[in-house]
Amino acid sequence: QVQLVESGGGVVQPARSLRLSCTASGFTLSGFVMHWVRQAPGKGLEWVAVVSYDGNTKYYADSVKGRFTISRDNSKNTLYLQMNSLRAGDTAVYFCARETGQFDYWGQGTLVTVSS
């Protein structure tokens, strides 16, 4: 069955970096566009970034542009989100999601807390 499992979250100080991973199983990652979506505590869903099938095309939300980098390693069936210059406002649960137009499968999320 299709499964997405995020990892790499934790507590990090402002201005530091963190890399999230999303490991896919039950399907071939290379066949799908993939996204990161985040949700701050008690808030709604915010789209973060998208990467094309081959990793060559990427788009970002303005709130993370220049600080976050989305990438993928299809040989490892893994999606990544490199987060630099983290701010308190980046505190959220980060979900990876598979796109088939709509987002048909989501991971369970990994919590990133930015705090000194």
Binding string, residues 16-35; x marks residues near other proteins by CB under 8 A: -------------------x
Min CB(62)–other proteins separation in Å: 8
Q: Is 101 in the site for other proteins (CB under 8 A)?
A: yes
Query: Across 62-101, where does the E strand assignment appear?
Result: 68-73, 78-83, 92-100
Write the CB contacts of 22 (distance below 8 Å, at least 6 apart in sequence): 4, 5, 6, 7, 34, 36, 78, 79, 80, 81, 96, 107
Q: Is 50 in the site for other proteins (CB under 8 A)?
A: yes
Residues 66 and 71: their CA atoms lie apart, in Å, by 14
Span from 9-17, 20-28, 40-48, 72-80 in contact with other proteins (CB under 8 A):
40-48
Residue closer to other proteins, measured from CB, 14 or 61: 61
Q: Is the dihedral of CA 53, 113, 8, 14 positive or negative?
A: positive
Q: Are 112 and 44 in contact (CB under 8 A)?
A: no
Binding string, residues 57-96; x marks residues near other proteins by CB under 8 A: --x-xx--------------------------------x-
| Chain contacts with other proteins (rule: CB under 8 A) | 35, 44-47, 50, 59, 61-62, 95, 99, 101-104, 106-109
